[in-house]
Amino acid sequence: MSSLSQKMLYHEVQPQSVKDSYSQYDNVDFLISPGPNRSLVRNSVRVIAELAVHSTGTTRTTGGIHFDPRIGGHAFIDSCQVNFSAGGLKENISAYPRYVSMNSVASLADSDMLNGKHACELKATSEVATEAYSNGITPNLTTATEYTENVDFSIKPLCALNKMSGGDLPFAKSGIVTLTLNLARNESALYGTSQTTTANYSLSNLRCTFNTVPDFKTNEPIQMRTVNTVKSNVLSGNANISANVNAICDGVSISFLEQSQENVSVWNTHNLSDIKGWNETQYIMNSATNSLVTYRITDRTELLERFISSMYNSGHSAVSLDKYRANKGAGCMGLDFDGEIDLSVNRFTLQLESGIGGGVTGTPYVCWMFFHSKIVLN
């Protein structure tokens, strides 16, 4: 084996279908192939692009359009899939930006947004900053015609490939890895006072980077955290939402949005809405020993503590209740199962008692449940 192959290598790949620019609804496939006798370095996958936002057609926006500052460049990805040629589909996350938002609001303080690893993702402390990003970069010129450049970003997708622990991922166990990004619709990624049905975004110079090292065949177990998403509607003050997912899960994290705000240009589709008139939450499921377990929560502090616990135990160790409250987080709930439950055969039920469906607070809500599971490769 050559001395070069003993070293870490940096790789950069283009999408399978190369285009000048990519826009809403495009499916972008990246092939991540360390090659024989090499391993993908855990948590090293990044996606890089240049962003242009237009008020109509290809006319640059000059203000009034932005994206969620807690999500940054992740806002332009609607869903994400990870496939192994040697093992099939490993993860399929829908409502991906919402999941990123839930993690950010629980783990990042305003000062963290100034850190390079978040700033390069176009995360920011306010919508003023993401509006400036949407406007593009205008160099300060004195002798030439003024022009606008795209702003670039580098995000670390919050998917199984970047939520690994243990050893690196050998090519012998995964084969070629396909990372698929389904790009978000315009009304989902962008919002603001100037956002209309003609406003749009495009991504150019799109590519994926990752690192590889030699496969030293240590047989160290590899654990990958994954997410399964279930979407439902809450239409009344006494709601029951039941779900099965094809996975063995150890927790669930949940958030809501007023139905009237979903994919509407002036509203943030990824807002974490508080449940108005909330009184009680119950989680009902069969445990690993097939006994019925019920968690009844009527205290808001406990509700939020259990949400933080559900995120912490799914691999997001930086989350805290203090950060969540400092970010004025609202509307999230969740549960750490305190063990693994096969939800392909055991049904999970969420019961909500609230003011939804009646009186002033009667607007329906959309509910997203993110079930946490893991894959172990030996």
DSSP bridge pairs for 133: none
Is the alpha carbon torsion for 151, 79, 331, 336 positive or negative? negative
The per-residue pLDDT for 305 is 93
The per-residue pLDDT for 141 is 64
Tens of pLDDT, residue by residue over 134-172, are: 999 887 666 566 678 999 999 999 999 999 999 999 999
329: pLDDT strictly greater than 70? no
pLDDT band at 131 (very low <50, low <70, confident <90, very high): very high
CA-to-CA separations, 121 to 113, 118, 190, 205, 227, in angstroms, rounded: 9, 5, 16, 16, 21
Mean pLDDT for all residues in the chain: 91
The per-residue pLDDT for 144 is 64
The per-residue pLDDT for 362 is 64
Mean pLDDT in residue range 312-332: 80
Please give the single-letter amino acid code of residue 242: S
How far apart (Å, rounded) are the C-alpha atoms in residues 194 and 64? Answer: 5
User: What's phi and psi for 219, nearest 5 deg?
Assistant: 60, 25
The per-residue pLDDT for 323 is 87
The per-residue pLDDT for 326 is 84
The per-residue pLDDT for 4 is 46
The per-residue pLDDT for 2 is 42
Residue 243 and residue 369 in contact, taking contact as beta carbons nearer than 8 Å: yes
Please state, for a pLDDT cut of 70, what percent of the chain lies above it.
94
For 127-136, 141-150, 189-198, which range has the lowest pLDDT when averaged over its residues?
A: 141-150
Q: What is the DSSP string of 229-268?
A: EEEEEE-SSEEEEEE--SSEEEEEEEEEEEGGGTT-TTS-
360: pLDDT strictly greater than 60? no
